[in-house]
Chains A and B, each alone.
Chain A
Amino acid sequence: MQASSKTPNDVSYLEYQGKHKGLWKWILSTDHKRIGLLYLYSMMTLFLVGVTLGLAMKFELIAPGKTIMEAKDYNAVFTVHGVIMIFMIVIPGLPAVFGNFMLPIMIGAKDVAFPKLNLLSWWVYIAGAILVISSVLFGDGSPDTGWTFYAPYSFKTGSNMLPAIFGAFVLGFSSILTGLNFIVTIHRMRAPGMTWTKMPLFPWTLYGTAWIQLLATPVVGITLVLVALERIFGIGVFDPALGGDPILYQHLFWIYSHPAVYVMILPAMGAISEIIPTFSQKHIFGYKAIVASTLAIAFVGYFVWGHHMFTSGMSGTAQYTFSILTFLVAIPSAIKVFNWISTMYKGSINLQTPFYWAAGFIFVFMIGGLSGLVVGALATNVYLHDTAFVVAHFHFIVFGGVGFSFFGAIHYWFPKMFGRMYDATWANIGWLIFTTGFLALYSPMFYLGMQGMPRRYYDYLEEFHAANILSTLGSWVMTLGLIIILINLFRSAKSGPIAPKDPWKGKTLEWTVPSPPPLENFDQIPEYHEKDGPYEYQ
């Protein structure tokens, strides 16, 4: 073949040489696949920072009293850990990495609707991350408010809050732009014949997520701006000394931050809904029920924010309204679990690493979800509020749910993304150690919380010692698992055996293109016919 007749699709997106050289061809690329990887690498880096901070906290808690840091440092560590993990990892996580990479391919498009805007989102994300990190490195003291920036402390404390607050605002902006891009992409760029009810489930969850990103993020954006203005000018909006109501801050903060939990978990559920049919070689059970429950979770999730505020002093009417609404969210979540299990039933299950992660997801998600009902009920919440129980609950959901799904997704789509296979044995060992460590790390916190150990203290009573030791040991085991997983993936991305087009016999569109995909994904835009569907297994 002559060089001049080369079409862009003769090379994979990884090898493609564009206008730019070296690093520039990545950080100036508008290719959705490269942007997905950019997010992956930046998130992994930030994730390791967050993990290190988490390990430091757990090490502090290995014994009562001061172990390695003062109370003030501990406050800073849990704040920065929370801000990094929430705003930079779990909220953007699956949409930004796998959404960017897979959404256009799964719906049969060449790219997202606005590729330049997509690149801009990544740059905005990096800007936000740098702002937040700068609050730690410069100024007088790292932020120490907790990731929630509760008023009035967030504008009274002398620590370096402004960069952290603006950083969170900027990260929100990135999230809005990504959401906007995905909604337009899904509306306008589905392959011919792919009706809404033939769209795979991961794109569906991204669609629900994108709406939350779009409609909830601005509320926290303006709230954070107000906190910053309060700090700079003293406008009085949340300052009780000037007539403001700090509880209103909590309302506005959670109007975003509770739906944000669904921004995290919905795409996680979507990825699980892709993995399970593939490794069961069976049509997903109750496709429409899963879609409906996705939208129901996204919608009802807007109206449950008050369950974070049961002890704040809001009215009784509001308390039981929020408690009832919270219980409603459990229904669509349970429907999904039921559908996943039913999909596996009588399927020909292929026990591979992604399936292990998916099974692990269901297990930890169940524990997290059921403990969520415990804290969602008014009476028990008052008892458990701000204890280690809550910390255990949301780590089971946010780290268990999203984290397991993320690792499941990366093991599932790795061959497609990098064109190479990973070492399955090491991947499975990593999963086993990680899961063991995870359970040892967070399970004791349920017990500790019920015994009355509060969260966010660097110290505790002697009676909590034993369980805390177990938890800290768990954190080490989990980190070991994490290291094994990451080393295995990194080595395989470089030198693993070449992956076939469809290593798992998946049926969604991403398995019809070469691994790694060519620049424009498809030589010819695929078409869906009457009989076609996303999960047509024998």
Chain B
Amino acid sequence: MENEKHHIVPYRVYAIVLLVLVVLTFLSIAITDIELGSYTVVGALLLASIKSSLVLTYFMHLKFDQPYIRIMVGFVLAVFIAVVIVTFFDYSFR
């Protein structure tokens, strides 16, 4: 088996990521107070996606892992999103 050396992530990186996550959380609460109509949800979901990609990349070490785990994660998310879209072929055209 090839040498898979372990990357030690410094504490500082985690602290910065947490800071960004907290800011994004407050941001998402703040934008719901602004009247944006249906864009409110889009905005909140967009921020949630950014937050989750931060968690995936740093907390879950995807950045430091071998690329195939990233590919798997991307594949799974793609399958899920495609399933949602195909489901809405029904509901949005009824």
Question: Touch between A and B in complex, CB under 8 Å?
Answer: yes
Verify B83–A302 contact, CB threshold 8 A: yes
Verify A303–B83 contact, CB threshold 8 A: yes
Q: CA separation between A247 and B94, bound complex, in Å?
A: 12
Interface SS of chain A: helix, strand, loop or mixed? helix
Whether A318 is near chain B, meaning CB under 8 Å from some CB there, is yes
Verify A315–B82 contact, CB threshold 8 A: no
Q: What class of interface size applies to chain B in its complex with A? A: 10 to 19
- For window 166-223 of A, CB contacts with B under 8 Å fall at 215
Verify B90–A306 contact, CB threshold 8 A: yes
Interface SS of chain B: helix, strand, loop or mixed? helix
Q: CA separation between A215 and B83, bound complex, in Å?
A: 11
Whether B26 is near chain A, meaning CB under 8 Å from some CB there, is no
Contact of B82 among A251, A303, A322 (CB under 8 A): A303
Verify A318–B89 contact, CB threshold 8 A: yes
Q: What class of interface size applies to chain A in its complex with B? A: 10 to 19
Whether B91 is near chain A, meaning CB under 8 Å from some CB there, is yes
Whether A243 is near chain B, meaning CB under 8 Å from some CB there, is no
Verify A318–B82 contact, CB threshold 8 A: no
Whether A314 is near chain B, meaning CB under 8 Å from some CB there, is yes
Given known A302-B82, A302-B83, A303-B82, contact A315–B76 (CB-CB < 8 A)? no
Q: Which residues of B contact A215 (CB under 8 A)?
A: 76, 79
Whether A255 is near chain B, meaning CB under 8 Å from some CB there, is yes
Q: Which residues of B contact A321 (CB under 8 A)?
A: 86, 89
Q: Which residues of B contact A251 (CB under 8 A)?
A: 87, 90
Whether B93 is near chain A, meaning CB under 8 Å from some CB there, is yes
Distance between B91 CB and nearest chain A CB, rounded to angstroms:
7
Whether A4 is near chain B, meaning CB under 8 Å from some CB there, is no
Find the A residue at minimum CB distance from B87: A251
A interface residues with partner B (beta carbon < 8 Å): 215, 247, 251, 255, 302-303, 306, 314-318, 321-322
Known: A315-B91, A315-B94. 6 other contacts (CB 8 A): A215-B76, A247-B90, A303-B82, A306-B89, A315-B92, A317-B93
Can you pick out 28 interface pairs between chain A and chain B where the beta carbons lie within 8 Å of each other?
Answer: A215-B76, A215-B79, A251-B87, A255-B83, A255-B87, A302-B79, A302-B82, A302-B83, A303-B83, A303-B86, A306-B86, A306-B90, A314-B90, A315-B89, A315-B92, A315-B93, A315-B94, A316-B93, A317-B89, A317-B90, A317-B93, A318-B89, A318-B90, A318-B93, A321-B86, A321-B89, A322-B86, A322-B89
